[in-house]
A and B are shown apart, each in its own frame.
Chain A
Amino acid sequence: MTAVDTEPATPGTDAEHLLVVDDLSTSFATGQGPLRAVEHVSLDLGRGRTLGIVGESGSGKSVLARSIMGLLPKYASRTGSVRFEGQEMIGASASDLRTLWGARMAMVFQDPMTALNPVLRIGRQITESINEHLDYSKTQQRETAVALLRSVGIPEPERRLRQYPHELSGGMRQRVVIAISLACGPALLFADEPTTALDVTVQAQILDLLEAQQRERNMAVVLVTHDLGVVATRADEIAVMYGGRIVEQAPTQVLFREMRHPYTEALLKSIPRLDLPSHTRLEAIAGRPPDLLDPPSGCRFTPRCPYAQDKCHAEEPPLEDDGTGHLYRCWFPVGITSKQTTVDSVVTEANVRQGDDDQAVPAKVPPAPPVDGPPPAAPAGEDT
């Protein structure tokens, strides 16, 4: 039924089970009743591994990351189990959580423009968690901060310590945010859309930086993104979320080889591909994400699913393992007949720049530019 079922959920600190999430649900108390942002999510992440969580806005992927960490507002409530390094985090006291936050697990936020405190110096914001969790002298804290900034590729780190966030560019700020998250050497890093707010040219650099740091520190990473292309080469396993639920979950290679859920298929069609002619039209997914206050009956993707049948409206499919560790939540999986798609073909190192919510995926995008090349030319706007 769940991911955990495939491997016995043995809580422990062994390398294979750094993070074990079992049947986690999160809901927000609102004026119109509970909003179930995340439902029945189970995950298992080993030390040093990367899990990609993919979905569009409102799919609950960011809330999932925050729910695992416990970083939720007061009006949110969680059920289920989250074990990190063998320790149950749901129901843990605030002070117990605080000893983990920033020290054993950390988060990189989406928008470096808003994630840094505008009125505190960079240095202060980096040393803050070191000061909290490690028994370092002021000098050691400072030296660590300089080393961190250097390791994330920031020139003149000593000078940066005295600067304020607005004095740095967006890419630099995101490097600072990453430096802050790495400060105490966490075992698990959540990266919540770490490149969405950045320029195309910088996106790949930041992702590469994260990857390098991950390898160096043997750190597990949960990479939250709306872009299958981002996780295609970086994640060991991918979980696709829709309407607060995981709809498909598999090792990366398997997922791209045998895509089963129509939503995953639609997501894939919406990113530019290398193996198709450069003027191929990209498809946006029609319709809107479900209203989580009043979700549709049956499968939540039904209203937007091109293959939906009566059964889909009536009954929600369970998340089932096909026996190979590939899970999906669909009555009529698309897998078998669809043509093969390889991982390499969807990789676009510098991914298509994302616009506002209400802006379509660019109608056509030139072939992916080299990593350090200029940003892709603006889409010619051929769609009507």
Chain B
Amino acid sequence: MPDAPTAPSSEPAVLMLEDDSLSDEAPSNEAGSGIGVGGWIAAGWLIFVVAVALLAPFLPVDSPTARGAGPRLPLFTEGHVLGTDSSQRDVLSRLVFGARSSLTVGAGAVAVGFVVGGTLGLIAGFRRGRIDTFLSSLFDILLAFPALVLALSLAVFLKPPSASATAGAEEIDTSGGLTSIQILVLALGIVAIPLLARITRSTTLSWAQREFVLAARAQGARSGRLMVREVLPNVLPAMFSIALLSIAIAIIAEGALSLLGVGVEAPNPSWGNMITENRNVRSSPLNALFSPIVALFVTVMALNYLGDALRKKFDVRDSAL
């Protein structure tokens, strides 16, 4: 056609004009390509928490399990900024070492979920066809369980029988004797697999249809190579934001599982079992109860905020969730 046709046409242009002006008003903060001030504050807090968790043994805090600091000292006591709990243990040091457990569980579970779920999702989304149908229905079935109840069942299942229960029986194989943290990582990781697989799958689907992938495929690139070289690098950044959101969920789940009796095993602290130990609001020392709650809240909020910001940046569709 020689000319841009503009003459008679239907009306949507004017309507669009109105819609545009509306959307121009609202999301002024989305205009920037960065993660914003809030994003950097969130990232700063997360770096701080991770550093504290990694360096816990080298920090000038008491042992988290040492007793004898004095019972139920209040906040801002000399030498015990966050006071002590009813077992005379320093709350700050339990918080610091608790970060270690909680973050290990959160990051570990998501890592498991990611490696397994991400791979399966990538394969399902890239290969399509029967593999996709099979894997997708598998994910659907796993998702049919309430997540917490599934995690709980798995944690119980993986837990080596306690001494009292095995008494009377012959030697029972305690299957390598996983620690409570390993159990939680596995249990929560397995629960995360279908969720992460599903998201990876839908993201992969959209990328695998892009022209450059189709072009590479047309040039005879092998599927596996294509998947790793062309699709994976594009899927990863989007997945990173989902990972942050998932870690937040896993950290919360550790707390919930603690309350149900399958959390990180005492006396080692985690934020979840600190809350559990002090959950009686009438008799427990409040500094020991609220310190882990605040730490949990701020960390989860930082993860959520950063995850949301990155999700917007990488434009992961809500529908994928």
Contacts and interface: CB of A to CB of B under 8 A. Distances in A.
Contact of B11 (A28, A62, A267): A62
B17 interface: yes
Given A75-B25, A284-B6, A361-B5, A35 B12 contact: no
Given A28-B21, A30-B24, A226 B13 contact: no
Interface string B1-29: 11111111111111101101110110010
A107 to B, nearest CB: 13
B17 A35 contact: yes
A356 B28 CA distance: 31
Q: Which of A58, A292, A352, A361 has the most CB of B within 10 A?
A: A58
A58 B14 contact: yes
Contacts of A193: 10-11
A356 B6 CA distance: 10
A284 B7 contact: yes
Contacts of A359: 5, 9
A358 B5 CA distance: 6
B2 A383 contact: yes
Q: Which of B5, B13, B20, B28 has the most CB of A within 10 A?
A: B5
A37 interface: yes
Contact of B10 (A287, A289, A354): A354
Given A30-B24, A58-B14, A226 B8 contact: yes
Interface residues of A, number: 47
A357 interface: yes
Contact of A284 (B5, B13, B20): B5
Interface residue range, chain B = 20 to 34
B6 to A, nearest CB: 5
Contacts of A60: 14
Interface in B15-51: 15, 17-18, 20-22, 24-25, 28
Interface in A35-56: 35, 37, 56
A31 B28 contact: yes
B9 A354 contact: yes
Contacts of A197: 10
A75 B9 contact: no
Given A28-B21, A31-B25, A75-B25, A57 B14 contact: yes
A75 B24 CA distance: 11
Contact of A57 (B1, B2, B12): B12
A57 B28 CA distance: 27
A384 B8 CA distance: 19
A323 B2 CA distance: 40
A15 B9 CA distance: 35
Q: Which of A59, A227, A267, A360 has the most CB of B within 10 A?
A: A360
A266 interface: yes
A285 interface: yes
Interface of A: 28-32, 35, 37, 56-63, 73, 75, 110, 192-193, 196-197, 226-227, 266-267, 270-271, 283-289, 292, 352, 354-361, 383-384
28 contacts: A30-B20, A31-B21, A31-B24, A31-B28, A57-B6, A57-B11, A57-B14, A60-B14, A63-B14, A226-B8, A226-B9, A270-B8, A283-B7, A284-B5, A284-B6, A284-B7, A285-B3, A285-B6, A286-B4, A354-B8, A354-B9, A354-B10, A356-B10, A357-B12, A359-B5, A360-B5, A384-B1, A384-B2
**Which 3 residue pairs across A and B have the least CB separation, nearest first?**
A31-B24, A360-B5, A57-B13
Given A58-B14, A285-B6, A354-B8, 5 more contacts: A29-B21, A58-B13, A73-B22, A196-B11, A352-B8
